[in-house]
Chain A
Amino acid sequence: MNPRLLPYILILPVTLFLCLFFLYPFVLVAQQAFSNGSGFTLTNFRDVTEHWKFPISLKNTFLLALAVVPIQLALSLLMATMVTKMKKGRDLILYIWTIPLGISDLAAGIIWLAIFEQSGFLNSMMGGLGLIDSPTNFLSYQSPVMVFVAIMLAEIWRATAIMLVILVAGIGLIPKEYYEAGEVFGATPWQRFLKITLPMLRPSLQTALVLRVILAFEVFAVVQALGGTLFPVLMGETYAYQFELLNGGAAAAIALIILAISITFTLIIMRALRVPKGATI
């Protein structure tokens, strides 16, 4: 066998697989979104964007991402720097903090449902402290703010771990000499964080943010578990079009809109955090 062919033989299965189950369906989504059986059309897009729920779900999705991602970024940076300084119990703490990584959004939604539902732990706690007389239903249309807060907390709880893992791995790659040099030159811990950790962490920050933002626009099951139809989001609309309204074309159109938003934000993040060539470790 020609050894030059070997790498191609090795990547062939993945390539075929991705062509069949990634590129091809992608083309199909695009086709379905832009056609109505007879040819090219934008009706699907017009239909979905003109639907009264569209602006709300778009707004909700963005609002959620806007509220959740910065907090997660700060929290994961804080946690990551905290574990790097840790000597005893580092492994245990890291394990605890990364637990949510393995928990699905649906399970996370259910977990926070246990807290926020009418007979749930939040009500029990407030009742126990004598703050309220009877349990209130937080997750109802009367308290949209509480619904939002519940979803936000569940999202922060669930998806900070993935950023944490990426950042901890990234910090692990920064050579210790830089910190030692910083210390020798008299930089305070805060200065070291700003001048060494943050800039050196840019590739990891990039990955973490891109991944997180993409996932934020795909938010679905948490919302479904906690808010149901009270808090419409884009992905939920896709699901609804597909199953409740049996309108594949419209579902595909929303899917493409989500994709466009994801790509836009990916590009923005990559650009904002781009690493100059030759400036890597």
Chain B
Amino acid sequence: MTAATTDVVDPGQDTRKAGRYVYITAVVLLCAWVLVPLYFLLINTLSSPEAVNSYPKSFIPEFDLGSLTFFAGFEGILTALKNSILVAALTMVMSILIGAPAGYALSRFEFRGKELFRLLILLTRAFPLPLLALPLAVMFIRTGIDDTVFGLALVHTTLAIPFAVLITFSLFSGIPIELEEAAWTLGCNRVTAFQKVILPLVLPGITASAIFAFVISWNEVFAAAVLTIENRTLTAFLLQNLDTSPLHLKFAGGFILVVPALIFIFAVRKYLFAMWGIANR
């Protein structure tokens, strides 16, 4: 009996090895699934307009800046790019300035109506918000901020605020209240304790959630298209000209849309999971 078993090659090892190959293949395939379409966009962006419109396509970029130059020279596109950046920056600042205090309140105080407030925030997150762009368009016309960068930033802030509140809530909750209390006993008042102790500790996280707000605004299409006419953002501009604009303009525009997003996701990658971990509960 014992002799027989020693002769047999351990079958578990083989399956384990096979499993390992399947696993690695799957990881590689999934990475390719994400990266290859991006690579195609890159090829198109770095090709001359003629190459973009020709068939068959080369699978290696020819490093021609023709499409990008055409994009930069296209009527109105640079203004749209500028508007996109402005709206996103405004959204980022407003959502943090408005959202962070509420996140702090949720993490530090027990107060009546806290549950109701949380419900309001969650409701906002679970709501197809771009739909509200329709009545807001009317409201903005009445107040004279229609078709402005500021008006759109307000809507995008509404979109970003639930995230800002929940993320800052989890950030502040991660800082033991004793640190703040220790600062109070060492001669700080609420404000200086916040400045000297809490702020330095949450600043990286706040930056991450600010960047998240920027990306939300940068990517938003529907409200941007509804609320701007003259002052189009890049997304709204591209959407409006989808039917009429040439392919190379679309691809270059798509590329410009993607690049900041890539950088930002890279910048906040460490916080992405922490943000969602607690915000869920």
- Whether A and B touch directly in their complex, counting CB atoms under 8 A apart, is answered as yes
Tell me the dominant secondary structure on chain A's binding face: helix
Q: Is A131 an interface residue (CB 8 A)?
A: no
Which one, A114, A224, A259, contacts B239 given CB within 8 A? A224
Interface residues of B (CB under 8 A from A): 23, 26-27, 30-31, 33-35, 37-38, 40-41, 43-44, 52-57, 59, 97-99, 101-102, 104-106, 108-109, 111, 114, 117, 120-121, 124-132, 134-136, 138-139, 154-155, 157-158, 161, 165, 190, 215, 218-222, 225-226, 235, 238-239, 242-243, 247, 250-251, 253-254, 257-258, 260-262, 264-266, 269, 272-277, 280-281
Which one, A21, A91, A168, A262, contacts B158 given CB within 8 A? A21
Interface residues of A (CB under 8 A from B): 4, 6-8, 10-11, 13-15, 17-18, 21-22, 24-26, 28-29, 32, 78-79, 82, 85-86, 91, 93-107, 110-115, 117-121, 123-124, 127-128, 135, 157, 165-166, 168-170, 172-173, 203-204, 207, 210-211, 214, 217-218, 220-221, 224-225, 228, 235, 238-239, 242-243, 248, 251-252, 255, 258-259, 262, 266, 280
Residues of A within 8 A of B125 (CB): 211
In the complex the two chains form, is A102's CB within 8 Å of B264's CB? yes
9 A-B contacts (beta carbon < 8 Å) = A14-B121, A18-B121, A22-B124, A96-B35, A114-B40, A124-B59, A203-B281, A221-B221, A221-B239
Which one, B98, B253, B264, contacts A110 given CB within 8 A? B253
B62 smallest CB distance to A (angstroms): 14
Cα distance, A114 to B257, chains bound together (Å): 15
In the complex the two chains form, is A228's CB within 8 Å of B243's CB? yes
Which one, A105, A107, A217, contacts B128 given CB within 8 A? A217
Tell me the dominant secondary structure on chain B's binding face: helix
| B229 nearest CB neighbor, chain A only | A243
